[in-house]
Amino acid sequence: MSLSFAFAVDDLYQDVVMNPERWGDDAYAEWLEGVAVDAASVDRVTARSLRRAVRIAGKLQKFWSSPDADRYRDERSWETRVDLAVGIPAWRPGLEIAETVFAMSPSQEGFEEVRRRFRVVNGTTWMEGIDFETYIGVSADADDGYSGSR
């Protein structure tokens, strides 16, 4: 399991909001099948998050295909387009995936991805003032009742 699933969700959202005419039920099914090629590496939490991301992508596609979106068509940032159409709930699947990957296999990259995504979803910092090396040290000393997550 890797952060590639979280990045794949970002790529899905970007393509949907920038090219909504290319997306529909068949395209979502193909995307989901392509992302989960190695189904053995997809745990239940990640599979649920991927399905949720597809449902959100459908909402994004519906919004950006509608005349209601005309006043926002000049917006160039795909992230802002996601926020305009769905808002914070759109970012939760990526955070859930990053948290799952990080819990299973802590890494510097995973730590930074959870930190970045947590701030977007929750509007506050995660592990403020703690770097990855400190986290690993604290996590290794879990006998004090602190596991180092959330």
What are the extents of the domains in the chain? 4-106
Q: What is the pTM of this model?
A: 0.86
Are residues 49 and 97 in contact, defined by beta-carbon separation less than 8 angstroms? yes
pLDDT, residue 43, reads: 84
Segment 17-72, tens digit of pLDDT: 999 999 999 999 999 989 877 656 788 889 999 999 999 999 999 999 999 899 99
Burial class (CB in 10 A: 0-12, 13-18, 19+), 95: buried
Residue 150 above 50 pLDDT?
no
pLDDT, residue 136, reads: 87
Of residues 137 and 132, more confidently modeled: 132
What integer best gives the mean pLDDT of the chain? 90
- What are 4's two structure tokens? 């590639």
pLDDT, residue 2, reads: 86
- Give the C-alpha distances (Å, rounded to integers) separating 105 from 1, 102, 111, 136: 9, 5, 10, 11
Write the single-letter amino acid at 132. F
Segment 75-128, tens digit of pLDDT: 999 999 999 999 999 999 999 999 999 999 999 999 999 999 999 999 999 988
Q: How many CB atoms lie within 10 A of CB 118?
A: 19
- What are 49's two structure tokens? 């998050």
pLDDT, residue 147, reads: 47
Of residues 97 and 139, more confidently modeled: 97
- Give the C-alpha distances (Å, rounded to integers) separating 68 from 18, 42, 53, 58, 85: 15, 37, 22, 16, 10
